[in-house]
Structure 1
């Protein structure tokens, strides 16, 4: 007899789809910090996997889903690859960490932290969070202590 495995209610409630805006932003920032540790020059399995989710997570080049004023603003500080998940995570992290320093126009575009800011990126990249969580961070970094706050067993 084949038995279906069912998730417990507590497990479901701790799934990333049920996180609040603050937790989603925190996860994106921490995921960005973690993938920055990977060396682009070496054959990092984590980075290869991260970039392999781009078609689903990004749905195309990410600059095409954002306002030109925002793209112009991020271009003042560094060059980004608009088909890179790592670079989009870096943009989210950098804008979140430096939100108060952003021009008023860019703050208005992004919305207030945490809800507006989270909604800005979630509405443009609805699969980004779950793809990064399931296919990259949970699979490759689940045992790393600074990411434990995102696993059910360490949040209860």
Structure 2
């Protein structure tokens, strides 16, 4: 979840350049692989949807970057969101990060692969790409 949050933060703050444009184009092109359908909101359980998609935040449900934004926003408030999810009549049995992994099983690996391909040298991702094999 930290990687996905860092990735969204990078997308928001990095300067517009050719490398970023190519990266974003490839990332957005992976939407069918990441959420199999026209929009990602249909993968979230209907009774949990209001918790994860507040009315004051507007997402494009057909966009991978907006899915990353939603995941980042929920992860930033993970304790509050997890508590609210457990208070529901039919709470999910898993923690927040496992809920997202279950609903979007290809999100992490797909975004990681695209990021590694285009942004391996970026300081923001150094800790995610370092290997500690000796």
Smaller-chain TM-score range?
0.7 to 0.9
Aligned to 2:30: 53
Distance 1:107 1:52, change over 3 A: farther
| Structure showing greater Rg | 1
Distance 1:80 1:38, change over 3 A: farther
Aligned to 1:122: 101
Query: Which of 63-72 and 78-87 deviates more?
Result: 63-72
- Equivalenced residue count is 126
Aligned to 1:30: 6
C-alpha separation in 1, matches of 2:100 and 2:63: 15
Equivalent residue in structure 1 for 2:76, among 97, 103, 118: 97
TM-score of the pair, normalised by structure 2: 0.78
C-alpha separation in 1, matches of 2:92 and 2:9: 21
Q: How big is the shift at 1:38?
A: 5.4
Distance 1:126 1:34, change over 3 A: same
Equivalent residue in structure 2 for 1:133, among 108, 112, 120: 112
Aligned to 1:16: none
Distance 1:64 1:77, change over 3 A: same
Q: How big is the shift at 1:46?
A: 1.9
Q: How big is the shift at 1:100?
A: 3.5
Alignment RMSD = 2.6
Equivalent residue in structure 1 for 2:60, among 60, 81, 86: 81
| Residues 118-142 of structure 1: per-residue CA shift (max 9 Å, x gap) | 211111111111110112x112211
CA contact under 8 A between 2:35 and 2:43: conserved in structure 1? no
| Residues 101-131 of structure 1: per-residue CA shift (max 9 Å, x gap) | 448433555677xxx2221111111111111
TM-score of the pair, normalised by structure 1: 0.68
Query: Which of 68-77 and 46-55 deviates more?
Result: 68-77
Question: Tell me, which stretches of 5 or more residues in structure 1 are unaligned?
Answer: 1-24
Q: How big is the shift at 1:59?
A: 1.1
